[in-house]
Amino acid sequence: MKLLFCGDVVGKSGRDAVTKYVPTLRAELGLDFVVVNGENAAAGFGITAKICEELYAAGVDCITTGNHAWDQREALIYIDSDPRLLRPVNFPPTTPGKGIGLYPVSGGRKILVMNVMCRLFMDAIDCPFQATEKFLAENKLKQQADAILIDVHGEATSEKQSLGHFADGKASIVVGSHSHVPTADGWVLPGGTAYQTDAGMCGDYDSIIGMKKEPPILRFLRKTPGDRLTPAEGEGTLCGIYVETDDATGLARHTEPVRLGGRLAQTRPWPRAKAAVAE
């Protein structure tokens, strides 16, 4: 199975990057499934039904969220009617929506997606390790699904790495979101789980984590509240990870970072693979 996970979509620049590059990547890579974290898609804060439809139309199959899930109040109502939009599974049981989705993939295969949120430097929430343990105990690779992807939405790299190793050999992919900066530690763990601490954001990198630079800089300089943060409006970069899984085991056999457009150094898996075959 060929899978793509894209990090937090920030504002219009991020949405434009997704709508520009996801259709191309689906064609070039022959992608089976695309997951995007959309919690900052609506002017940097939350997501709306209209934006969900925009992302689905671009070829996104599932949207995860995090601590900004409810910044747009309409999401509290909309999420129950959209099985492709997830919120962290370790929110309280009475929270609207769900944190796990089972989706069909071509060839009669299925993929399970789980959205979980960390606790270090984040909101008080149920234990992400217990939630992950319960999920993996109830959902086995090649039994309930042919692939399992876990979006770990968190601040601390140590917590996200711990969850990656905790799930190694039981999930196809464990990938971090939330920090908006792509990490350089993408690899296949010893047990066969593809891992990267943070996929990075889809947005304008001439910014402070996707926001116009001046207000956050002034907040640090003055230690006082300032103007409302608004997304930067330059060309966005699509950041994510590409993973190929083994259909026999459900585990990962290859992973690469994806960075297209905007200001970051570009990396595109398919042309390199195609060139290697040609040589």
Q: Which residues contact 5 (CB under 8 A, 6 or more apart)?
A: 34, 35, 36, 37, 149, 151, 173, 175, 199, 240, 241, 243
pLDDT given for residue 75 in this prediction = 97
Backbone angles phi, psi at 127, to 5 degrees: -60, 125
pLDDT given for residue 276 in this prediction = 43
Backbone angles phi, psi at 22, to 5 degrees: -60, -45
Instruction: Give the angle subtended at the CA of 170 by the CAs of 125 and 176, to the nearest 5°.
Output: 45
**Under CATH, which number does the domain 2-278 receive?**
3.60.21.10
pLDDT in tens, the chain (279 residues): 999 999 999 999 999 999 999 999 999 999 999 999 999 999 999 999 999 999 999 999 999 999 999 999 999 999 999 999 999 999 999 999 999 999 999 999 999 999 999 999 999 899 999 999 999 999 999 999 999 999 999 999 999 999 999 999 999 999 999 999 999 999 999 999 999 999 999 999 999 999 999 999 999 999 888 788 999 999 999 999 999 999 999 999 999 999 999 999 999 986 444 444 444
Backbone angles phi, psi at 31, to 5 degrees: -65, 140
Q: Residue 200 half-sphere exposure, CB side, CA atoms within 13 Å?
A: 24
* Burial classification of residue 101, based on how many CB atoms lie within 10 Å of its CB (0-12 exposed, 13-18 middle, 19 or more buried): buried
pLDDT given for residue 270 in this prediction = 65
Catalytic residue among 68, 153, 178, 180: 68
68 is an active site residue? yes
Delimit the domains of the chain by residue range: 2-278
HEC string of 215-277?
A: HHHHHHHHCCCCCCCCECCCCCEEEEEEEEECCCCCCEEEEEEEEECCCCCCECHHHHHHHHH
pTM of the model: 0.94
Nearest by Cα to 3 from 62, 56, 47, 57: 62
pLDDT given for residue 176 in this prediction = 98
Torsion over CA: 155, 194, 55, 231 (sign): positive
